């Protein structure tokens, strides 16, 4: 592989001059710059990011720890984070924790070993003391970690309010909220607070049903949903805390002879691609994933550069009305 | 951050001995090993993978270039590759090319700059000469790149045959195959060859409909599918070359008053999570994604170690029967 010396030899310039050109330091003539660019291309010279990382003590890499890559919500967040990181010339080192604490700790160690510029966590019930020795920014997205540098969240409380209002305004009178994981405290828990507040203000019967980590990790809710529809036959509106749950609720409703939205109105959360691929399509609360991703990257790089960043940032959600609960179809 | 020297000082051993222990070289007493492990833990010492990469000329990182992270098929492959890489103590550096040739070239350069151990490409129409100077293994999954070290594919031809047989045995008599992208040659093109072969052997009317890169990149097929169902009202069986297309076909069928599977039987391809989240669920040809991922990682590391690896490997597919085309529901 070509080295800096080879580029210098090819151009007739000194190694110092070539290095200055590559790092944009000091005055450089247009002619020298063009010479170096031509030589780099001819010799297929690639700046050694590894050597650069060693001298800078940190690399052009951001560690990203997620619980389940193939959960479509996380896939969409990863895609957006990758996109935003690239704009700042950073790369993403990807870790799939499978919601396992041991994995999370191991991956944080791997991030340190690889001298990442910072870590973004979307996974984690890891305790504070475990992060000792972490001298890079730690940004969380939709997770509670007291020790993090900054926490990025969507407006879960308002999302819960919107879901309740949409169901009630479309005519639902008896509501369930199939909510987040029982075992872990998460920002998403605020959805049920907002949901209950609206139901109570409007005098609408409602109940919250918590789900389990096991269901979350497997993405399998059919059994729970069948039991719920049989136990609460009078329910005519359900707020599902993810579109994956909402999709399975459509399937179970059909098996039990309930029509969506005529007999049962459904509002999901996340607004990922599944929401528009089901029949009927799913009305869903959209997380501002793109904005959350760009904020996470910005805060990480700002904090790494020693700037002060907000410790918590809440971004607005919006309702995306589709067929499963629509004002145009009020029955 | 603690250094090797700090660990040596803490244990009373020499830096050379500590380094030998960390790298598992030569004879080391159990006592010394335990001392070093205790000191590493106490000082929160992390081996510097960056320095290691510089001395070894390559890192513990594998570059992965995909066209669309948030396409659920790719999300599932990424998840499996990450899992298999971790088992070998390698990390994944992730690049989202958005099917753009310029991005692919830039990301290959970034992989070189980061001294990856090898590259896995699931994206690419990049020409052969562009890979000059690439002195690490290049493994492709479901892509044609003549210059790659090894190509991993599923048995697309047999998958096409299985789809045709399933549709015909479930009673369909007039078939469409909504197939791969017109502009790029891909291993997936073999599906239509296998599909046509079975239809012709059994004297069944069939037609192949090619899709466009634009549709592939956007994941949006509703317009095309509506036109097709109106243009071919007699069609009672469709093989869709992805589950994303199959899901949209269920939606369009419902809008046009066609019942699935009674009036129209559908077989998808990939067997990703969407196939089990639609109503009805989708009968699909399963790619052996886990095996493809483990083979890709194995070939990459073998080739990096100088071993000879097969240039092409084809892994078997299987039919996963669900509601959209099922022998139990022959009408």
Q: What is the pLDDT of residue A144?
A: 80
CA distance B280 to B269: 16
Average pLDDT over residues A19-41: 78
Looking at the domain that runs over B56-154+290-317, which CATH code has it been given? 3.40.50.2300
Tell me which of B67 and A48 has the higher pLDDT: B67
Contacts of residue B2, defined as CB under 8 A and 6 or more positions apart, other chains included, come to: A133, B43, B44, B45, B46
pTM: 0.81
CA B184 to chain centre: 17
**3-state DSSP assignment of residue B259:** coil
Question: How does residue A97 score in pLDDT terms, banded at 50, 70 and 90?
Answer: confident
ipTM, interface predicted TM-score of the complex? 0.75
Sign of CA dihedral A183, A186, A191, A194: positive
Largest CA distance in chain A: 84
- CB-based contact (8 Å) between A219 and chain B? yes
CA distance A329 to B59: 57
Instruction: Give ranges for CATH 3.40.50.2300 in chain B.
Output: 56-154+290-317, 156-287+319-329
Instruction: Give ranges for CATH 1.10.260.40 in chain A.
Output: 4-47
Contacts of residue B249, defined as CB under 8 A and 6 or more positions apart, other chains included, come to: B178, B221, B225, B238, B240, B260, B264, B266
In angstroms, how far is the first alpha carbon of chain B from the final one?
70
CA distance B290 to B204: 34
Q: Is 90 exceeded by the pLDDT of residue A103?
A: no
* Segments of chain B with pLDDT less than 70: 1, 23-26, 48-58, 124-133, 329-331
Q: How many residues does chain A have?
A: 331
Tell me which of B179 and A331 has the higher pLDDT: B179
Options 3.70.10.10, 3.40.50.2300, 3.30.70.260, 3.30.1360.120; CATH for A156-287+319-329 is 3.40.50.2300
CB contact under 8 A, A82 and B70: no
Which residues, numbered 242 to 261 in chain B, qualify as contacts with chain A under a Cβ-Cβ cut-off of 8 Å? Answer: 244, 247-248, 250-251, 254
Instruction: Give ranges for CATH 3.40.50.2300 in chain A.
Output: 56-154+290-316, 156-287+319-329
Q: Chain A residue with minimal CA distance to B250?
A: A279
Q: String of b and e for B276-286 (b: at least 16 CB within 10 Å)?
A: bbbbbbbbbbb
CA distance A164 to A191: 10
Task: Please tell me which of the candidates A53, A54, A93 has its beta carbon nearest to residue B93.
Answer: A93
CA distance A244 to A248: 6
Q: Strands B237-240, B174-181: parallel, antiparallel or unpaired by DSSP?
A: parallel
Structure tokens at A285: 């609360």
Closest CA to A237 of A120, A129, A330: A330
CB contact under 8 A, A70 and B82: no
CB contact under 8 A, A91 and B76: no
Average pLDDT over residues A3-15: 83
Tens-place pLDDT, residues A111-144: 888 889 999 999 866 554 566 667 889 999 998 8
Closest CA to A6 of A66, A46, A34, A51: A46
CATH architecture of A56-154+290-316: 3-Layer(aba) Sandwich (3.40)
| CATH superfamily assigned to domain A4-47 | lambda repressor-like DNA-binding domains (1.10.260.40)
Q: Is 70 exceeded by the pLDDT of residue A53?
A: no
Q: What is the pLDDT of residue B146?
A: 73
Cβ atoms < 10 Å from Cβ of A330: 11
């Amino acid at each position: 592989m070509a080295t800096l010396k080879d580029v210098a030899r090819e151009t007739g310039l000194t190694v110092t001059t070539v290095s200055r050109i590559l790092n944009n330091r000091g005055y450089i003539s247009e002619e020298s710059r063009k010479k170096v660019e031509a030589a780099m291309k001819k010799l297929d010279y690639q700046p050694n990011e590894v050597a650069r990382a060693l001298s800078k003590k940190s690399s052009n890499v951001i560690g990203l720890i997620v619980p389940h890559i193939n959960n479509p919500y996380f896939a969409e967040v990863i895609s957006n984070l990758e996109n935003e990181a690239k704009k700042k010339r950073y790369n993403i080192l990807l870790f799939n924790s499978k919601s396992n604490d041991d994995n999370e700790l191991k991956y944080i160690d791997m991030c340190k070993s690889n001298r990442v510029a910072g870590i973004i966590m979307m996974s984690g019930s890891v305790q504070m003391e475990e992060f000792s020795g972490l001298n890079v920014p730690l940004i969380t997205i939709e997770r509670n970690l007291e020790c993090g540098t900054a926490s990025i969240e969507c407006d879960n409380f308002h999302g819960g309010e919107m879901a309740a209002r949409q169901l009630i305004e479309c005519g639902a009178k008896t509501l369930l909220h199939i909510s987040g994981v029982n075992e872990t405290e998460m920002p998403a828990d605020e959805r049920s607070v907002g949901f209950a507040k609206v139901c109570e203000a409007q005098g609408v019967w409602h109940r919250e049903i918590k789900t389990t980590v096991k269901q979350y990790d497997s993405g399998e809710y059919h059994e729970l949903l069948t039991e719920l529809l049989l136990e609460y036959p009078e329910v005519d509106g359900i707020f599902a805390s993810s579109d994956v749950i909402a999709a399975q609720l459509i399937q179970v409703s059909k098996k039990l002879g309930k029509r969506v939205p005529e007999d049962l109105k459904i509002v999901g959360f996340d607004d990922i691609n599944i929401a528009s691929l089901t029949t009927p399509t799913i009305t869903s609360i959209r997380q501002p994933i793109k904005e959350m991703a760009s904020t996470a990257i910005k805060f990480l790089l700002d904090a790494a550069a020693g700037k002060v960043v907000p410790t918590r940032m809440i971004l607005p959600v919006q309702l995306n009305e589709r067929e499963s609960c629509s004002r145009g179809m009020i029955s």
